[in-house]
């Protein structure tokens, strides 16, 4: 946890462009070109976290902020409250259910997952960028989790 706090202090920047979630709501969906640019930044942020042995475990559009309101603004990843540091850089199995229903992987629900849970969440985000709605839905969290 201390490592995450140190990174947050070093790389802290004011992001005035709002959440990716809000931009999705405003645009409804993105063109393939815009979605590709946004998704590339999501994957770059995820790659950086994983290279630092950090599993985010709660990737969702609300946890990405635009640096400015500009259409071509860069994205920054936030909210490492559910993240886990992989000790010694080893691929570890985790058991704690952590995440948000629309983006949580079946492996997390089963309580036997690894760093790849972030990739599932990223894939759900790409689906939303292109379609404007989540791949799994329901009237309650239980219904959403059943769909997953």
pLDDT in tens, 112-131: 999 999 999 999 999 999 99
13: nearest Cα among 64, 52, 56, 67: 67
Report pTM: 0.86
pLDDT digits (tens, 9 = 90+) for 23-67: 999 988 899 999 999 999 999 999 999 999 999 999 999 999 999
- Say how far apart CA 66 and CA 94 lie, in whole Å: 30
pLDDT of residue 11: 53
pLDDT digits (tens, 9 = 90+) for 3-21: 544 454 445 568 888 999 9
pLDDT of residue 29: 83
Range from 7-11, 28-32, 73-77, 90-94 carrying the lowest mean pLDDT:
7-11
Annotated active-site residue 58? The verdict is yes
Domains by residue range for the chain, with CATH = 30-147 (1.10.510.10)
pLDDT of residue 28: 87
């Amino acid at each position: 946890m201390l490592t995450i706090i140190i990174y947050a202090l070093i790389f802290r920047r004011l992001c005035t462009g709002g959440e990716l979630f809000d931009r999705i709501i405003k645009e409804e969906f993105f063109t393939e070109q815009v979605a590709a640019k946004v998704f590339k930044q999501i994957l770059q942020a995820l790659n950086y976290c994983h290279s630092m042995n950090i599993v985010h475990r709660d990737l969702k559009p609300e946890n990405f902020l635009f640096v400015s309101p500009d259409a071509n603004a860069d994205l920054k990843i936030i909210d490492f409250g559910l993240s886990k540091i992989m000790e010694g850089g080893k691929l570890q199995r985790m058991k704690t259910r952590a995440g948000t229903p629309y983006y949580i992987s079946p492996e997390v629900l089963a309580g036997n997952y690894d760093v790849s849970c972030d990739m599932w969440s990223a894939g759900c985000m790409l689906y939303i960028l292109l379609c404007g709605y989540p791949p799994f839905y329901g009237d309650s969290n239980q219904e959403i989790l059943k769909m997953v």
